[in-house]
């Protein structure tokens, strides 16, 4: 179902261009404010103070020789999704600078980037910083993942005559309706995009309505995200420590969902003696506040980042490290995907699907709508509505491991059947890419 179309806005193209110029002008005076904001975010663990210059366009690494592609992915999910494309680009002899905006995505990139690719933090969308970035790295092509729409960046790219592509294009009906309230602005901005490779026909139609001329449906790159690794020795150790206890994982949780997890554990621990809850927050830097929430409800908590071991008395094991989700997905036969009870829009369920887990989700998964629609239709995901429903569904799966295994098998089949987007993406990009990686 496509978005309802509001009446066209009254903004003229000339007014749209004036607004974009004003946006650039405001950016010039925003540096002091952003500098203060960066310091504050760094104190909260949300920015890397040692790499502050990157956020203002200053490079921290030398540019490699040869043709280079700039790929931007907002955070961890997008970084994982685009990694197979990055590998395909480097396999063609191209260099890649991958940018992202979060500390966790930077760590993910450091672990997964192939030879020939490097990571930088994305510059703030200020014309000066973006210009400095482009002038230093001199990309041949610029690719943005999903719904990263940045006016100063778009305009700076096109001033240099560079091709601009959107990969794994996602555009919700709500966002589309919002953009269409200023139709001339949307068409001026989206008209700068050379090609949009959309996840689904709905996304494609939404991008077309906003003014992108060349839109193609290639499928969802998330179906080809690398399956997260697990250290075999750590996996064997954890299985020995857990020693047959009933177990489930709440993954990528957001504020407010940890309270639900605590309530579910308390409801089920008498019915399922020895129950162990694994909890992996979306943002591991929240570990301290989450531990306070859990212990305040009378739960015994062990913490991965402190090198705690899950003992017989442990109720909740707080998995607050980065790069170990493959371990925790493989430990648990049942995974609840967070961000789906709050307003975060859900998170990618394909990693646990590939790792052999039965998947549960709340109803709020708009950011992963197409993936969940397919999983739900194939009975590879169960939707739960609140703590009571989650507790009842989880209890049934723990009592009936055969049912859990059937849900997990359906999720795995659906995940494998959705593959193919990387080859279609590379075919669609071939006209934009340099012919080879030579300088």
406 and 339 fall within a common domain:
yes
Note the pLDDT of residue 10.
60
Helices 183-190, 13-29: axis angle to 10 degrees equals 70
CA distance between the termini of the chain? 46
Annotated catalytic residue within 47, 54, 65, 78? 78
332 and 397 fall within a common domain:
yes
Specify if 427 maps to a domain. Answer: no
140 and 242 fall within a common domain:
no
Residue 104's H or E segment, with its range, is helix 103-112
CB 112 within 8 A of CB 104: no
Residue that finishes a domain, picked among 183, 217, 251: 217
3-state secondary structure 313-349: CCCEEECCCCCCHHHHHHHCCEEEECCCCCCCCCCCC
244 and 171 fall within a common domain:
no
190 and 237 fall within a common domain:
no
Could you tell me where the DSSP H helices lie in 181-312?
183-190, 201-210, 232-242, 257-268, 287-296
Q: pTM for this one?
A: 0.77
Furthest CA-CA distance within the chain: 68
Distance of alpha carbon 153 from alpha carbon 123, whole angstroms: 9
| CATH classification at residue 131 | 3.40.50.11720
Q: Which domain holds residue 61?
A: 13-217
Specify if 146 maps to a domain. Answer: yes
CA dist list (Å): 35 to 32, 40, 125, 128, 408 = 5, 9, 13, 14, 47
Q: In what order do the strands lie in the sheet with 276-281?
A: 301-303, 316-318, 276-281, 247-253, 334-337, 358-361, 381-383
Specify if 24 maps to a domain. Answer: yes
* CA atoms 398, 402, 407, 412: torsion sign: positive
The single residue listed with the structure tokens 């931007």 is 72
**Is there a catalytic annotation at residue 378?**
no
The single residue listed with the structure tokens 């430990």 is 331
Specify if 438 maps to a domain. Answer: no
Q: What is the pLDDT along the chain (439 residues), one digit of tens a residue?
A: 444 444 445 678 888 888 888 888 887 788 888 889 999 999 989 999 999 999 999 999 999 999 999 999 998 889 999 999 999 999 999 999 999 999 999 999 999 999 999 999 999 999 999 999 999 999 999 999 998 999 999 999 999 999 999 999 999 999 999 999 999 999 999 999 999 999 999 999 999 999 999 999 999 998 987 788 999 999 999 999 998 999 999 999 999 999 999 999 999 999 999 999 999 999 999 999 999 999 999 999 999 999 999 999 999 999 999 889 999 999 999 999 999 998 789 999 999 999 999 999 999 998 888 899 999 999 999 999 999 999 999 999 999 999 999 999 999 999 999 999 999 999 999 999 997 544 3
């Amino acid at each position: 179902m496509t978005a309802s179309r509001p009446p066209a806005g009254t903004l003229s193209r000339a007014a749209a261009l004036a607004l974009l110029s004003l946006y650039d002008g405001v950016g010039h005076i925003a540096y002091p404010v952003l500098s203060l904001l960066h310091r504050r975010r760094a104190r909260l663990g949300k920015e890397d103070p040692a790499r502050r210059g990157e956020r203002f366009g200053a490079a921290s690494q030398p540019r490699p020789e040869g043709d280079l592609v700039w790929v931007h992915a907002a955070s961890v999910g997008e970084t994982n999704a685009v990694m197979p494309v990055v590998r395909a680009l480097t396999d063609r002899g191209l260099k890649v600078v991958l940018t992202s905006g979060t500390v966790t995505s930077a760590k993910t990139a450091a672990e997964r980037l192939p030879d020939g690719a490097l990571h930088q933090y994305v510059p703030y969308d200020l014309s000066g910083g973006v210009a400095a970035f482009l002038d230093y790295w001199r990309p041949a092509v610029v690719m943005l993942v999903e719904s990263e729409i940045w006016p100063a960046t778009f305009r700076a790219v096109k001033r240099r005559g560079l091709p601009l592509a959107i990969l794994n294009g996602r555009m919700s009906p709500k966002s589309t309706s919002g953009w269409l309230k200023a139709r001339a602005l949307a068409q001026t901005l989206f008209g700068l995009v050379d090609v949009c490779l959309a996840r689904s026909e709905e996304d494609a139609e939404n991008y077309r309505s906003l003014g992108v001329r060349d839109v193609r449906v290639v499928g969802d790159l998330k179906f080809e995200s690398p399956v997260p690794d697990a250290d075999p020795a750590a996996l064997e150790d954890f299985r020995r420590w857990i020693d047959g206890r009933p177990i489930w994982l709440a993954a990528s949780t957001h504020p407010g969902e940890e309270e639900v997890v605590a309530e579910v554990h308390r409801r089920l621990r008498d019915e399922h003696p020895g129950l162990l809850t694994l909890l992996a927050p979306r943002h591991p830097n929240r570990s301290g506040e989450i531990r306070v929430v859990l212990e305040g409800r009378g739960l015994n908590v062990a913490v991965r980042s402190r090198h705690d071991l899950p003992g017989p008395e442990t109720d909740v094991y707080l998995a607050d490290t980065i790069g170990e989700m493959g371990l925790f997905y493989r430990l648990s036969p049942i995974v609840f995907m967070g961000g789906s009870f709050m307003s975060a829009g859900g998170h990618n369920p394909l990693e646990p699907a590939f790792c052999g887990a039965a998947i549960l989700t709340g109803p709020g998964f708009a950011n992963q709508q197409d993936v969940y629609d397919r999983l739900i239709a194939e009975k590879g995901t169960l939707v739960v509505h609140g703590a009571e429903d989650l507790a009842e569904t989880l209890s049934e799966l723990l009592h009936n491991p055969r049912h859990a295994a059937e849900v997990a098998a359906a999720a795995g089949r659906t995940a494998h059947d959705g593959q193919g987007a990387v080859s279609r993406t590379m075919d669609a990009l071939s006209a934009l890419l340099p012919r080879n990686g030579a300088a």
